[in-house]
Structure 1
Amino acid sequence: MAKLCDSRVFPRFLKRGDRVLRNCSTGSPLLVEDPAANGHVAWLVRDINVSPLSESRLPTSSMEFAMTIEPEALEKLREKHRRWLSRLGIVDKPWLILGSAPSPTIPPDLIGHCARVDVNNAGKTANALGLPPADLTFRKRKKSWEEHPYVRTRGLLWLHTKSIWVMYLKLLAMPHVRYKSLMRATKAEREAIVNAVSGGLPSDIGEVGKVTNGVAALCYALFMGVPSVTLAGFSVTKMGHSYDDKGRIRRQIAEDTFVLRRLSDRGNVFTTELELSEHIGLPFIRDREDIIRNMGGAIGANPAQWKSAQI
């Protein structure tokens, strides 16, 4: 049995496979000694159920994170978000999702034809290119606002742990952020949507065990039943980001590759990036006419068809 530690010791981040303790009678996480961290301790995330005072491990795949969301709750989530997207006027439009890979390819005639969805801080690149405000921004909680303080978007879908009222208060302190409508989602909801659309990640794929926010945005679009999704600024080979020159290593490449390949034959997922098309097998498109030509036989929004995207 692991030894409980003094809570005053600064905790480290957990990684997959760590063994932890939890008091299930209160739902509170317990602190457990990490022998490899010189006495530092680890917190257990709150949404894992284990026996009282027994050892357990963190989830080893995105499927395990999503198991706490029942199908009925997931369908209610879908209906709620579809109503919100309908008010934004984008649920029935094709989507162009802009990721942050270097040198994105954005055909001019897709602007206006598609609803543009910026992932995390990709809107900084869109601003630099002189593009109009995004129709939707799909944003992680921990993504730096200092990195891109001038967010311009109609809809803001912010993955967050706090209530939406706390999120509103946080946004009030960001005078340069321009948005019209805010929606909240949780990490567990994100993973449940990815699993519903893709079938989930096996535990032996990648080191993180979940896809990037860009691929999660793709799964979100398909889950909401938009007609088609075109990916721009996506890569599983290029390092760095389009909005800075730091050349940071891009993570979760194996996870993204696995899910993108699963979704490549749906008939309604495309890319403007030739390299991604060649590497993954997604149909390559140059303009809106290519989207229309490729839409024959696409998998629709019917939840009964989600399994057809699985391998």
Structure 2
Amino acid sequence: MTAETDDFAAVVELQRAWLKRRGLLDRPWLILGAAPKPTIPDPLPTSVAHVHVKYSGHSAKRNGLPPADLTLLLHKTTAKDIEGLEIRDVLRMRRRLSRLTRLYRHFGRAGFGESVITHAERDQFILRVAGSLFASGGRDERPSNGVAMICYAVAVGVPKIIVAGVSLEADGYEYDPSIRNRRHQPEDLAALREIAKVTPQVVTTEAALGQTTGVPLYRP
């Protein structure tokens, strides 16, 4: 086993411990992206944890869903980006670890209300689950943060992962139709097709996504 493998295994275990303390590890997750007109599952598992990718909490509010139990946010996220949202536990993605985060990890903790993964660790979650970053020669060299969150959930051992609000076809965002540019489609397509082959615990409510990628449809 290489030092890199050892290091990543330690990151996974820290994340697992952090999620377990918050009661999130052994529950099914509804991972909500921000694609237009998300298909909200009905009914949801009674113990489901609501997990929002970046600013999809705005989409959740529009569709009658509760605040997120866990939100993936970026280092560059501003107060305006999440204005009006109730933010609870946060998985924060940063370019590098802060001194405080390194101190937490030294003592075997991932954080308190906020845990951190670096961009490099995000890539490792994708690589360990899907086997590649699927760089397609465009301006993006990896799948979207929505796919990264799916891979994170798989890697830490979430038993059921329900994906909604993720599209490879629709343009724009549910919470802001004026933003038209959606990136990562080729990378997401390749990654989700591979995820469909190796992770039966990942299902989707989006019929078009399932048909294109082979990810099974969610059945209540």
Q: Tell me which interval the TM-score lies in, with the shorter structure as reference length.
A: 0.7 to 0.9
Give runs of aligned pairs for residues 86-105 of structure 1, distance below 5 A.
86-105=20-39
1:220 matched residue in structure 2: 152
Contact persistence 2:34–2:53 (CA under 8 A): yes
C-alpha deviation, 1:81, in angstroms: 0.5
C-alpha deviation, 1:202, in angstroms: 4.4
In the alignment, which of 58, 80, 87 is matched to residue 153 of structure 1?
87
The 1:118/1:203 distance shift into structure 2, 3 A limit, reads closer
1:52 matched residue in structure 2: none
C-alpha deviation, 1:165, in angstroms: 5.0
CA deviations 1:113-149 (Å, max 9, x no partner) are 3211100000111123332221110122234441322
2:205 matched residue in structure 1: 272
Contact persistence 2:135–2:142 (CA under 8 A): no
C-alpha deviation, 1:234, in angstroms: 0.3
C-alpha deviation, 1:100, in angstroms: 0.4
What secondary structure is seen at the aligned counterpart in 1 of 2:88? strand
Which amino acid in structure 2 is aligned with residue 197 of structure 1? V
What secondary structure is seen at the aligned counterpart in 2 of 1:89? coil
Structure 2 distance, partners of 1:78, 1:96, is 20
The 1:205/1:285 distance shift into structure 2, 3 A limit, reads farther
Contact persistence 2:93–2:117 (CA under 8 A): yes
1:285 counterpart = 2:218: yes
2:191 matched residue in structure 1: 259
Q: Name the % identity.
A: 37
Structure 1 distance, partners of 2:119, 2:211, is 31
Give runs of aligned pairs for residues 147-226 of structure 1, distance below 5 A.
147-160=81-94, 161=96, 163=98, 181-204=113-136, 206-226=138-158
Query: Which sections of structure 1, spanning at least 5 residues, go unmatched?
Result: 1-68, 167-179, 288-311
C-alpha deviation, 1:205, in angstroms: 5.5
2:161 matched residue in structure 1: 229
2:69 matched residue in structure 1: 135
2:107 matched residue in structure 1: none
C-alpha deviation, 1:253, in angstroms: 0.5
Which amino acid in structure 1 is aligned with residue 14 of structure 2? K
Which amino acid in structure 2 is aligned with residue 258 of structure 1? A
Which amino acid in structure 2 is aligned with residue 268 of structure 1? Q
Structure 1 distance, partners of 2:19, 2:51, is 12
C-alpha deviation, 1:204, in angstroms: 4.1
Query: Which sections of structure 2, spanning at least 5 residues, go unmatched?
Result: 102-111
1:249 counterpart = 2:181: yes
Which amino acid in structure 1 is aligned with residue 29 of structure 2? W
Structure 2 distance, partners of 1:129, 1:89, is 25
Structure 2 distance, partners of 1:183, 1:164, is 13
What secondary structure is seen at the aligned counterpart in 1 of 2:34? coil
The 1:146/1:162 distance shift into structure 2, 3 A limit, reads farther
In the alignment, which of 18, 31, 38 is matched to residue 84 of structure 1?
18
What secondary structure is seen at the aligned counterpart in 2 of 1:215? helix
Structure 1 distance, partners of 2:32, 2:65, is 12
The 1:109/1:202 distance shift into structure 2, 3 A limit, reads closer
C-alpha deviation, 1:283, in angstroms: 0.8
Give runs of aligned pairs for residues 104-115 of structure 1, distance below 5 A.
104-110=38-44, 112-115=46-49
Give the CA RMSD over aligned residues.
Answer: 2.1
C-alpha deviation, 1:89, in angstroms: 0.6
What secondary structure is seen at the aligned counterpart in 2 of 1:158? strand
What secondary structure is seen at the aligned counterpart in 2 of 1:153? coil
What secondary structure is seen at the aligned counterpart in 2 of 1:138? strand
